[in-house]
Structure 1
Amino acid sequence: MDLYISPEQNRVEASPSPTLGVIPRLKLGSFEPPEGFIDIAFKKGSSPLKIANKIRSRFAPGVFRASTYKTHYQVMLWIEEERERRRDLSRYDFENGELRQKGKFYKLHIDGLASKRPDLLLGDRICVRLSGSGKWVSGIVHDVIDEYVLLHFGKEFKVLRGQKFDIHFVFNAQVYRRMHEALSWEPFFDRITFPRAAHVSRLGKVQNLSGNDIQPFNKNVSKNPAQRQAVTIITRMPPGSVPFVVFGPPGTGKTSTIIEAIRQILYTNPNSRVLACAPTNAAAELITKGLSGLGKKALIQLISPLRRKTSVSKNVLNFTYVNDREQFDFPPQSDLGKFRVVVSTCYIASVLLGIGIQRGHFTHIFIDEAGQATEPESMIPIRTMANDKTNVILSGDVKQLRPVVLSRVASELGLKTSYLDRLMSNPIYDETDGRGAKPLVKLTKSWRSHPAILKFPNEEFYNGDLEACADPGLTHSICNKWHGLVKKDFPIIFHGISSKDEKEASSPSYFNIKEASIVKKYVASLLNDSKLKLKPENIGVISPYQGQVHKIRELLRPFAEEITVGCVEEFQGQERRVIIMSTVRSSSEWSKFDLRRTLGFVADPRRFNVAVTRAQALLIVVGDPFVLALDPIWKAFINYVHLGGGYKGTQIDWDPSKPVDRKARLDKARRRLGRYRLQKK
């Protein structure tokens, strides 16, 4: 049903929900695209590459530099915003909805809501009208409970028994407007957006410090030369230095490194103030937990008033600001300015200007997991809070998750390239170039995984540079105890199964019942083995599809509800003793195998890297080997597990000892084999 409402269309707005706080904000502009822009960007029948080239020639600046920086990224944001506006919510619109009054609110049932279809947040807007006619009325989401939302409307809004409503989900453009606003702040500094060799020279002798002249608060950091060096350089950098990068592959302790650096900055400089950001709530909360020893007077995390207290861990709640309605809020400028460290997501950092914090208030701005944020998102804290003396520090891994970008046209134009990615492509950050010191430290000691789990991603993504340094008491805790291993001293299982993936009518997401059942059996076996002493929180289950996440949660709820089941993005920066992965996609029609259509985003090297590097002691992958082997990296991984003795289930039909050509189109070979077998029948 097409119920798209243009911004010009008249509707009755809801009054604010009586218990939702208001995010302080500056007056934001509308940031409308040029005339004709949207028509060209969404022209039907043209490929994303052709559209991107036309956008470049007509609207994008010819040269990417400081004077064109704003327009360069605004072009991408206009496309991504319209893509999300048009397709991501309107497809969930429906007719004949029922509103049932519950005190000051109205309860609305939404099919698929429990599995985030649609993904609604407190404060979002939903428009309703009497079925087929009448004026649209805007309601505000007050709460989300399983398959229901509670909506707040204006006082005049009334519902009679039996009335049915058309339901339209309204796109929230605030995130994009705040990114546009951040891009608009001038003047800005070449040393941050376009650093050159001349800017690096400002670091001087600081780059050559080994780290022996600091006393780390974290004993583990004291044992790691690369971490000590990074902390020392960050602490001793003169004001106004070039951005510094902590490149941290999986399990190397990059977050621990920036936490140590923040503590050293505060210890050595009594006038220092730090803004520490991350793209996600989970990553921001990890920073707060790591800095909790600073105490409540020095540390605060800003959390959106639209989040529930139950969604935040108890360790973090102590460092938040809560109003008299027991909801998250922001302290006044006079109080906020007293904290030595402010933690937030990149987006929530936009409230600082609205509260009254001025540019230059923070001596240092950190962004952890910087590879997951688009550059405009990273610029919210940087461009609104940094002045000519503020130092910027990024930590992350360009081999792990990239920003989520929905529009293929915006991706072609460069929105999927994070600020961290762009800096790392700059020669001054090239770690392989031996000419001169670099404003970067690469961490290579991995403190997470069993050597056999680390070996494949290490060789595939990091040139074999990583060194397995984790405690054997943890990493080898399952090898010789659990009867479920195919080979006792090899803690990886690939369980091959050829089954059938499915979709529900109301969802674009896939699920696979057979795979979900196998995951359940593995979880039960691990938890029931008393020798392992595993608790549900020691196990994580990863699947690339929300539909499968929902099915597995249902199966585990009766006996292991505490296990985290989620998509790859939910596990970045996390670790578990056991990781079980369900890849979902499967097909018995060999002659129709196609890499892009069949595998979709399962065949994403960065997602693969994150998924297989979360496990400390045991990694189990459940999937269809013939479908996964369409992708060269997956095929190489299956071969690695097969040669290591960890393969079971459906037998493969190729030689696992034969090297895999990473550039080959394996889906074409599989189709040829499928057609040959059909002819032989």
Structure 2
Amino acid sequence: MSGLRKEFNYTDKEILSMMMELKVTHTINLVELRRAFFKQIKAHHSDKGGAVQKAQIITQAYRVLKQYVEAGIMLPKATQNGFHQPSTSADFGGRSGCRPNQSAPRAAPDGFEDFGDFQDVKSKRRKKFGGMSNGKNNQQQESDDARDEPSTGGKPKNINIKAQKFVNGYTYLKEDFSTYDDPMERPDRQKDGVRKIRGGLLLYKDFNRALVLPTEYQELGSTFSENDLVDDPSFAPILEKLQQIACDLPSLAEKLRIFIYIAWAFDGGAMQDAKIMLQKVKMAPYGTDDDSLYEIKIPRRTFDDDVLTTGLHVSVRSVSDGKLYANAVIEQVNPSSQSIVLFFVDPLRLSRILALSNNVNVSINSSAFVYRSQLRSLEWILANCGSRRNMDQIIYPKPEFTETLEEFRTRRAVELLSMPFREEADHSYNEEQKNAIFSIVNKEHHPWPFVLFGPPGLKHFNFLSFFVVILGTGKTITLIESIRHLVLQSSQNRILVCTPSKMAADNFAEALLQHDFLEHKYIFRMHSLSTMAHSRNKKLDPISYLAKEAKHRFFGIPDRLNLKMFRVIIATLATSSYLILAGGLRDYFTHIIVDEAGQALESEVWIPIGGLVGKETSVVLAGDPMQLGPVLNVNTMKWFGFDISMLKRIMHSEMYKDSSDERFFVILRQTYRSHYNILRPCSYLFYDNMLIVDDRQGNFYKLSDWEGLPTKGFPIIFHSSRGSEDEQGVNKSHQNTFEANLVLRLRVMLASFPGVTVDSVEGFQGSEREVIIMSMVRQYDLGFLRCDLRINTSISRAKYLLIIIGNEALLSLHATWKK
């Protein structure tokens, strides 16, 4: 009995009693069980005179029965004479399991509390759910059971490879299975303390529950401001550590640890419960078909659609008992009716709150998941330094080779002749791109990181839609061609592509699909479990996993065996944490590529490096440090250098700066994005005139004769807004009505272009537009316009036409704008 799951330790008599509370029979399924539960809980609601104790009994009955049904355990059958037919499962010996410990303390919530449940590795596996699955059959169940067998040289045992057993419905061949010697498939693997998240992946509990915000940081962000951090003498010891120059891995790790603590503190930290957004508001079911949707009417004086946004994660807590909470996501914001609609991932938790009252408090969630991921990876990097992999070689690289550079170049010239580069009518790879691909594919840089410096507008395939070009820089093309060669090189190569943002990950995934050299079944766009699917890029649906158990509103991550079928996984740096939590995957990925690395915090890049890089893993950093860098939620941290990305720091190091060694560093100089006159100032102002601007082969003159151009053939316009009013809106952001109206008039003049995107400069980084209209807004002070990286990012987005609206007198105060 000790080996059984503790959730199932109930006698048949106890189970029958619970079934009677919910008025269900032994043939009940999950959908019917949930309906029965909500029917009974509403009938005994305290607002209708029901007893709280009765509601708690109903809730407990539902929780237990739900576990039995999900695990496929047969429920006892009641007979006409009042006796029951015992369960026939031999595994439980006439008893339904081990009695749960009701007095056990509840664990503190973590970043994925509502997205999974606990399941012992040896327990009977739950029936699979999956947005794209074809359902289970007997062959699938047999193969699932086989996954618990000991590892046989990295290959699963007794698996029927013809069965469509995976959540995406694809069929895999024998050679598709990874030969990686997975420690989690060995007989001595860890067998307890795992969490099954939405989609089926098992995560080990040893993640970071013990990682808490230290006491000395807990008042930051609540009692103290950013300025207090610098001015208050009590924080002097922290500032002294931040001011120290990091010259090696331990000193840099210490500075990053402090930075993470500060960022965590100002993002909520230990004060999460105090960030109440709505107090004592009434919640009511929304519609009749979905018990996961609830509506809240908000008083007009507290309705703020700048704060209440679709996709915002919130906590709903009982007014009378603050310990009772349920996490939800805002699915709809309705300004006309002054209401919001919430989607609850776990309606069971909500039922416990509603059993007390319909009046609730709503607070903004402040997840510690990202900060804990960064801290844990930092510790892993320090722990592994000098053992399985010398992390100094990645963090502070000093490349050394036995082969001379000339010998390498001679060998490369010969080997490049046999590399099958894809030559198409609208593109051929230039020498710099081929050199980069050769070094990445053959790991010429290993064990040091390979750096690919890709300024804007580098030669690319022409994937133009008429107005918006989302994809296709030369950097991206170079990385994708490298992946194509790696896939051809070996079916066992496994590549993880990480980006700092969801948009960048989607862009890369879409570019990979457009090149169409790898079947969809081998590619996985791994989304965060907290990402809502309603605003997704539907072109990526064939390589994504919409979880059926979340009613297709959220994504899921499939189980371990399914994950190892994918040859390319694309995720954000933070989402790669789930792969780390799965355990045993260090050294599984042959290549880890960080794209748009110039936009990422160094502590973010350390997540996959610390948790997944092994002895043989190749690391590639790609990006442009002259574009906008990492975003800091504590602005004062830039004074201590935390706005410098790992890519930029390495590029300015002694070994990489001014290096011409293509084994570990390649600069892509050939540009092919924009009209010559648009990119020329970028090359002059930000790239020391090293860019080779070539627009002869492209259709970049299509607006050179546009009727609105003051000078025909010169596609840059500056409209003066001098004398207009620059005001602050209710959300304290600046606005300029005159410039906004001018943008509208220009839009009418450009009516032949069907698509319009309005966003901040940050929203356009990594993408392109045929026409860019820049509204500078500011009239009295430069503010954010002082940032050279912002200027470069803004100008270099345009392909055919660049229109700038601003106060020329104000802009001329800045050296770069003046030039």
TM-score tier (shorter) = 0.7 to 0.9
* Rg (Cα) greater in structure: 2
Structure 2: which amino acid aligns with 1:125? V
Q: Which residue of 2 aligns with 1:558?
A: none
| Distance in 2 between residues matched to 1:222 and 1:570, nearest whole Å | 30
Please name the residue that 2:561 is paired with: 334
Q: How does 1:260-659 map to 2 (within 5 A)?
A: 260-292=481-513, 293=516, 294-324=518-548, 325-326=551-552, 327-356=554-583, 358-431=585-658, 433=659, 439-470=664-695, 474-480=699-705, 482-497=706-721, 498-505=723-730, 507-527=731-751, 533-536=752-755, 563-587=756-780, 598-636=781-819
CA offset at residue 254 of structure 1? 0.5
Match of 1:172 among 339, 354, 367: 367
Which position in structure 1 is the counterpart of 2:92?
A: none
If the length of structure 2 is used for normalisation, what is the TM-score?
0.64
Task: For residue 623 of structure 1, report the CA deviation from its aligned partner.
Answer: 2.0
Look up the SS of the partner of 1:233 in the other structure.
helix
Range moving further from structure 2, 254-263 or 66-75: 66-75
Q: CA deviation at 1:510?
A: 2.2
Rounded to whole Å, the distance in 2 between the matches of 1:439 and 1:143 is 46
Cα distance in structure 1, aligned partners of 2:624 and 2:372: 28
What's the CA shift for 1:31?
2.6
Q: Give yes or no for contact 2:115–2:529 (8 Å, CA) kept in 1.
A: no
Give me the whole-angstrom Cα distance separating, in 1, the residues matched to 2:236 and 2:663.
35
Structure 1 residues 68 and 109, CA gap change in structure 2 (3 angstroms) = farther
Structure 2 distance, partners of 1:522, 1:267, is 49
CA distance in 2, matches of 1:254, 1:386: 23
- Deviation at residue 212 of structure 1 after TM alignment: 4.6
Q: Which runs of 5+ in 1 are unaligned?
A: 1-7, 528-532, 537-562, 588-597, 637-681
Which residue identity is paired with 2:285? Q
Aligned counterparts of 2:273 and 2:430: Cα–Cα separation in 1: 47
**Given the alignment, which residue of 263, 282, 285 partners 1:101?**
285
Are 1:246 and 2:452 counterparts? yes
1:229 has 2:435 as partner? yes
Change (3 A) 1:34 1:91: closer
Structure 1 residue 496: deviation in Å?
Answer: 1.1
Q: Which residue of 2 aligns with 1:665?
A: none
The one-letter code of the counterpart of 1:302 is M
Deviations 1:316-350 (A, max 9, x none): 11111233343421111111112211111111111
Offset of residue 146 of structure 1: 3.5
Corresponding residue SS for 1:222:
coil
C-alpha separation between the residues in 1 aligned to 2:406 and 2:506? 34
Code of the residue aligned with 1:248 in structure 2: it is G
Write the deviation string for residues 428-463 of structure 1: whole angstroms up to 9, x where unpaired: 1112x56x6662111111111101111111100001
Alpha-carbon distance between aligned partners in 1 of 2:257 and 2:404, rounded to the nearest angstrom: 31
| Alpha-carbon distance between aligned partners in 2 of 1:575 and 1:14, rounded to the nearest angstrom | 35
SS in 1 for 2:294: strand
| Cα distance in 2 for residues equivalent to 1:204 and 1:66 | 32
Root-mean-square deviation (CA, aligned residues, Å) is 3.7
Contact 2:439/2:663, CA 8 A, preserved across alignment:
no
- Take 1:455 and 1:64, find their aligned partners in 2: how far apart are those partners? 37
Aligned residues: 579
Residue of 378, 381, 385 corresponding to 1:183: 378
Aligned equivalents of 2:710 and 2:304: distance in 1?
Answer: 36
Q: Partners of 2:273 and 2:692 in 1: how far apart?
A: 45
Q: In the superposition, relative to structure 1, how do residues 355 and 164 fare at CA in structure 2: closer, same or farther (>3 Å)?
A: closer
Please state whether the residue corresponding to 1:441 is helix, strand or coil. strand
- The answer as to 2:275 corresponding to 1:85 is no
Of 457, 467, 480, the residue aligned with 1:259 is: 480
1:145 aligns with 2:332: yes
CA shift, 1:174, in A, is 1.0
Percent of pairs with identical residues: 28
Shift of 1:291: 2.2
Q: Which residue of 1 aligns with 2:17?
A: none
1:272–1:93 CA distance, 2 compared to 1 (3 A): same
Cα–Cα, structure 1 residues 100 and 508, in superposed 2: closer, same or farther, change >3 Å?
Answer: farther
- 1:233 positional shift: 1.4
Q: State the alpha-carbon separation in 2 of the partners of residues 270 and 164 from structure 1.
A: 57
Deviation at 1:278, TM superposition (A): 0.9
Asked if 1 retains the 8 angstrom alpha-carbon contact of 2:704 and 2:713, the reply is yes
SS of corresponding position for 2:655: helix
Aligned to 1:36: 216
Q: Which runs of 5+ in 2 are unaligned?
A: 1-105, 117-128, 130-196, 335-339, 386-390, 459-473
Partner-residue secondary structure (3-state), 1:216: coil
Q: Structure 1 residue 73: deviation in Å?
A: 1.2
Distance 1:59 1:583, change over 3 A: closer
Task: Give the equivalent residue in structure 1 for 2:314.
Answer: 125
Contact map agreement 1:367 1:394 (CA 8 A) in 2: yes
The letter of the residue matching 1:245 is: V
C-alpha displacement of 1:114: 8.8
Match for 1:214: what amino acid?
M
Q: 1:48-59 to 2 correspondence within 5 Å?
A: 48=230, 54-57=237-240
1:159 positional shift: 9.6
Deviation at 1:257, TM superposition (A): 0.7
The question of 1:216 aligning with 2:404 is answered no
